[in-house]
Amino acid sequence: MRLAFLAAPVVALAALTAACNQSDPAPVPPPETATAPVEAPAQPPAEVPVQTPAATPASSGSCLDEIGQEAATRLVEQCRAVSPATRPPCNTANPCAMIQGEIDRSCALWEGQGDAPEECRPAAPQT
């Protein structure tokens, strides 16, 4: 009985191994298809105009480059003081328009909500 119990896995393994060692079947030739005549591609125009990208506005650079260190730092400090965002764009490497946009957006949140931060209030005219 024990011998029959051990013989069954050996026979199964031999059968699987024999199936793996069979030679590959003969390759099947691809079906013959009629090929349609190919037309020659149309000739491109002799001269193609080159498109150049439009000039980028100055606001795509850094605020530091746009308005200088002192003014950019003041704008960034104002932005950080009023922005409720966890990662606001208050960085001198960003365009000034982006920083000012965050200040405007943040200060607009205070409209009708009470006392806005001092940084949202218009500056008093200097005499």
* Exposure string for 25-54, b = 16+ CB within 10 A, e = fewer: eeeeeeeeeeeeeeeeeeeeeeeeeeeeee
Nearest residue to 78 (alpha-carbon basis) of 86, 67, 68, 89: 89
Using the predicted structure, report yes or no on whether residue 113 has a pLDDT greater than 70: yes
Tell me what percent of the residues of the chain surpass a pLDDT of 90.
Answer: 34
pTM: 0.50
Are 77 and 113 spatial neighbours (Cβ–Cβ below 8 Å)?
Answer: no
Using the predicted structure, report yes or no on whether residue 56 has a pLDDT greater than 70: no
Would you place residue 58 in the very low, low, confident or very high pLDDT band (cuts 50, 70, 90)?
Answer: very low
pLDDT for 91: 95
Amino acid (1-letter code) at residue 119:
E
Amino acid (1-letter code) at residue 86:
T
Q: Which residue has the higher pLDDT, 95 or 123?
A: 95
Are 104 and 120 spatial neighbours (Cβ–Cβ below 8 Å)?
Answer: no
Both structure tokens of 91: 């960085």
Distance (Å, whole) CA 73 – CA 63: 9
Using the predicted structure, report yes or no on whether residue 73 has a pLDDT greater than 90: yes
pLDDT for 119: 85
Would you place residue 23 in the very low, low, confident or very high pLDDT band (cuts 50, 70, 90)?
Answer: low
Neighbours of 107 (CB within 10 A): 17
Q: Which of 34-48, 92-106, 113-127 has the lowest mean pLDDT?
A: 34-48
Average of pLDDT values for 20-36?
Answer: 65
Are 63 and 96 spatial neighbours (Cβ–Cβ below 8 Å)?
Answer: yes
